[in-house]
Structure 1
């Protein structure tokens, strides 16, 4: 009798230990799964029921790529999980059409739909002899205590990807045309009509893109087309995958022509930008600011997508408010984009030390605001004596005037004659422990000129030969005989509001070497610039 009770107790302990061990193994598997899913672009957190009631279990961590691979191995497709509507569009929601869960489906109904759909598929997969997922009772293998956020890079239709679609022979051409734009752009002549379609007004834009794009890519795969787009998250949102795709596309483009062809969007080569002066508006005062001739063709080639500037769509009128075009901190504005260009190593040596306010100086404004003012200079070159009013000009007249001004802009960098640049400049005002520094002045200036070659932005904004001198000789007139640094910078800590002379010299030179990424001489190598005295 006693032995029987002892056996029963031991059996109960073994069962309890097995249960605890099983729970621990499941938990360990859960943590391993969460760790494996961390940082991947295909992680989808299923918490649909949370919109209707509080969750009894944590959200489900769903690895989309693992499931698509499993379906492919079994000869199945996306339609195993996603239904198609009457138009043949693949819906994003699992096992239901868009809106069904908002049309009376209860939390209990959603729960049964997910459990029945997922678990039954796992059982069938196992019966086929394939590796499968959790089944009944293995709740924590899906419901994670430590949900991991997906790590996705933004996806978008940049110019390169746009060209790939436009150039594709797999996407059939529009009826009676030699282009296939109608496959995505439903209204002829309205380039962004697909992006801002009726569906986008009622559904999140990401859902519109996923439904349309994934459905098209999946249909091409089903037709066994030579080329098709990605259907897995990483194909568009994976950092590694998108980088590899960009390299492959660039390689193919180079093999074809080397340059990205311009898409046929009937876009102008030149545009006239200016606040419109309406003579019949009594409350509107003319600004007197000369219009800007904008080189649309040049800028189009410098950006990855038209939406870099046209944030509200290609057909939307560009917001030409002062803030929208002149914000130095926004890289999508005209001035902000130019500021970003100044951060390139060949530019940053001079521009990094200059305050942002200098970007909007009178001379720099006049570089753009100069339509209809002839050859005036300084502030007057921004103020048209007879303001050009684009509202009074036809579309053709505005484009022609902008093209004329653009054609007159310098195409190459204005340079000081090399013989007029001092070869060496000796800096000895502070010589104490070190010998005077013999600076290779001409070599430095010529290196700056070399860095500007081929850069139209630099050629336009450095219109005078002496403009490059302002990189070091700031706050001084652009001249070949600028004042000495000691004219403004006194002894250390003695000049109020400015760095002392020693700090000015070292700050200027060392910052330039750092920003231009110069390895020799190193910014901290004192004897490379001035030898140490021996006595």
Structure 2
């Protein structure tokens, strides 16, 4: 009995010691991760943050490769308590270089020593001062943790027209180039290969993405590096002189909830870049040897309203995805390397390419004001498309080729004015005010369908859409949203003309009448974000029969 008690006592002591060690380890781990900050190890799987930077130096030949370090940038920024970027980043030519404690990469051993010496030294100093600190010397796996899988919530920021104008009109942006009183040269520049220096040329401004690609090239840094050095560096310089500016933390630009806090201007003046108001899309007019006779072999040209499209896109890159040159400079009739061998016809008509005209229009049809009808309308094949809706400018009457730019702009403007004719709405007397749908009433009474009110509501929702106004072309087009396979008419056939009373679908896929009504109405409500009546609220449309 005595031995048994002694054993139980020893087991109890061991249990207490074990719990104490475990508790001490938990405190230590919590300290290493910064208290309430995102955890490391297994618990990090449940953590999400936009500020993860992977520190992964090239492997040393013949050496053991440690797992990459997941560095939480915003956590460290907060720990600096208002100190500037120069705590970790050096400057070159008065600009921050966003590498850690160096202006350029060296060999792996040198860079690794920079990280270890400076990171551990900072953590040690913080620990001695009684502050929450990161891993200390010997805590290798606290940083090099292959099991840690935090979820990055990083999202790109859209430098849209509103943000662009706020920077363009700011009184704080000062260019080192002579930019005639404008801010453009503070960000925009070109690269001189001969002198290996950057310079600014007014009127040649282009998107940063055109030169700064996802990965660095011989002549330009990666877009991520260039953006941070330019944007964050400028913001920090303004903070240093106590001026109000944009964010310097990762979340400020790359976290969804923070992005929603960015002020958006309702009215943004047109971007000034010598662009035309109207364009005549007719690349073939520039081909050598083009004559009045050879012009007959080409499609009619397209009058393109450049100014209107500018106001309906986020920025120039929405269409000019790789350069601000004409589409036909890279996308030729037969295709070439500069355009990825995408032919001009494909670049305009391929519905699977968001940068193409047809592809962009297809995306616009998914908007709530459009999707209610377009979701249920079968997509036409290419051969069924009315080409002359866009290809409407006949140039066979022109005597001189190539046609000069000014003449093409005039021709495009004239065509656009001629086609911008507002169509009168269908008169009320031709639209039934209410339609009773009771042909299949059984458990429920017939539905009272407010026909005229719904049509007028659809008209109201698209009245400001110039795209709808152009492509609908007929004041009866909206009727096709429901009467989708019959000729446009103020007296279309009943739904029962094509959809039978039987529940079973026809051999060609047409649903029965009940299915047709419910799919058409419910899908329209869902796509147009109409909450009432709900799809499951049967009696809102037809009363239950007693």
Contact in 1 for aligned 2:207/2:317 (Cα 8 Å) = no
Structure 2 counterpart of 1:459, from 469, 478, 482: 469
In structure 2, the residue matched to 1:380 is none
Alpha-carbon distance in structure 2 between the residues aligned to 1:500 and 1:390: 60
2:26 maps to 1:47: no
Q: Tell me, yes or no, if structure 1 residue 369 matches structure 2 residue 379.
A: no
User: 1: CA distance between counterparts of 2:60 and 2:156?
Assistant: 26
How many Å separate the matches in 2 of 1:51 and 1:369?
61
Output one character per residue of 1:212-259: Cα deviation in whole Å (capped at 9) or x when no partner: 3233222222233x23333221222122222111xxx22xx4xxxx41
Instruction: Write the distance in 2 (CA, Å) between the matches of 1:51 and 1:478.
Output: 73
1:60/1:142 contact within 8 Å kept: yes
Q: Map residues 478-517 of structure 1 onto 2, 5 A cutoff.
A: 478-492=488-502, 493=504, 495-497=506-508, 498-517=510-529
| Deviation by residue 1:284-322 (Cα, 9 ceiling, x = unmatched) | 996642222221111111222211111103346466523
Corresponding position of 2:142: 141
After superposition, the Cα gap between the structure-2 partners of 1:215 and 1:323, relative to the gap in structure 1 and judged at 3 Å, is same
Is 1:180 the counterpart of 2:178 in the alignment? no
Which of 82, 91, 102 in structure 2 is aligned with 1:96? 102
Question: Cα deviation per residue 1:90-133 (whole Å; 9 max; x = unaligned)?
Answer: 222212222x32xxx243x3332211111122233455665433
Distance verdict in 2 for CA 1:233–1:413, change over 3 Å: farther
Aligned in 2, Cα 1:14/1:389: closer, same or farther, shift over 3 Å?
A: farther
User: Unaligned 5+ residue runs, structure 1?
Assistant: 1-10, 373-383
The alpha carbon displacement at 1:141 in A equals 3.4
CA contact (8 A) 1:412 1:453 kept: no
Distance, in Å, in 1 between the alignment partners of 2:154 and 2:447 is 52
Distance across 2 between alignment mates of 1:64 and 1:299: 39
Distance change in 2, residues 1:441/1:39 (3 Å): same
Shift of 1:139: 3.1
Q: Which moved further from structure 2: 332-341 or 120-129?
A: 120-129
Distance 2:519 2:138 in 1: 68
CA contact (8 A) 1:433 1:533 kept: yes
Per the TM alignment, residue 197 of structure 1 is displaced from its structure 2 partner at its CA by: 4.8
Matched, 1:234 2:251: yes
C-alpha distance in 2, partners of 1:494/1:17? 68
Q: Equivalent of 1:60, from 69, 73, 98? A: 69
Matched, 1:266 2:274: yes
Match of 2:87 in 1: 80
Change (3 A) 1:456 1:511: same
In 2, are the aligned partners of 1:427 and 1:436 still within 8 Å (CA)?
A: yes
User: Against the structure 1 CA distance between its residues 82 and 533, is the aligned structure 2 distance closer, same or farther, given a 3 Å change threshold?
Assistant: closer
Aligned equivalent of 2:78, options 69, 75, 88: 69
SS at structure 2 position matched to 1:503: helix
1:404 aligned to 2:414? yes
1:154 to partner: Cα distance: 0.5
Contact kept? 2:31, 2:134, Cα under 8 Å:
no
Cα distance in 1 between the residues matched to 2:161 and 2:471:
27
How much does 1:163 deviate? 0.9
SS at match of 1:346: helix
Q: Is the 8 A contact 2:57 2:112 kept in 1?
A: no
Judge which range, 439-448 or 408-417, deviates more: 408-417
Between 229-238 and 186-195, report the one with greater CA deviation. Answer: 186-195
1:119-158 alignment, distance < 5 Å: 119-126=120-127, 130-144=131-145, 145-158=147-160
Q: How does 1:301-312 map to 2 (within 5 A)?
A: 301-312=311-322
CA contact (8 A) 1:191 1:314 kept: no
Unaligned 5+ segments in structure 2 are 1-12, 190-199, 332-343
Q: What is the rounded CA distance, in whole Å, between the counterparts of 1:206 and 1:390 in structure 2?
A: 48
CA separation in 2, counterparts of 1:355 and 1:420? Answer: 27
CA contact (8 A) 1:414 1:465 kept: yes
Q: Spell out the pairing of 1:314-325 with structure 2 (5 A cutoff).
A: 314-315=324-325, 317=327, 321-325=344-348
Summarize the alignment of residues 421-432 of structure 1 with structure 2, pairs less than 5 Å apart.
421-432=431-442
Contact 1:82–1:92, Cα closer than 8 Å, also in 2 = yes
Q: Deviations over 1:153-182 (max 9, x none)?
A: 112422111111111101126536121211
Match of 1:342 in 2: 365
| Alpha carbons of structure 1 residues 500 and 212: separation in structure 2 relative to 1, 3 Å | same
State the 1:263 CA deviation: 1.9
After superposition, the CA RMSD in angstroms is 3.6
| TM-score (structure 1 length as normaliser) | 0.80
Please tell me whether the aligned partners of residues 288 and 387 of structure 1 are also in contact (alpha carbons under 8 angstroms).
no
Distance 1:437 1:72 in 2: 66
Q: Work out whether 1:192 is the aligned partner of 2:194.
A: no
Residue 352 (structure 1) shift: 0.9
2:193 corresponds in structure 1 to none
- Mapped contact 2:50–2:153 kept (Cα < 8 A): yes
Match of 1:212 among 205, 225, 230: 230
Q: Matches of residues 377-456 of structure 1 in structure 2 within 5 Å?
A: 386=396, 392-410=402-420, 412=422, 414-456=424-466
CA contact (8 A) 2:302 2:390 kept: yes
Question: Displacement, 1:29?
Answer: 5.7
1:450-493 superposed Cα distances (whole Å, 9 cap, x missing partner): 22222222211222121111111112221212233333333433
Q: Distance between the aligned counterparts of 2:399 and 2:61, measured in 1?
A: 58
Secondary structure in structure 2 of the residue aligned to 1:392 = coil
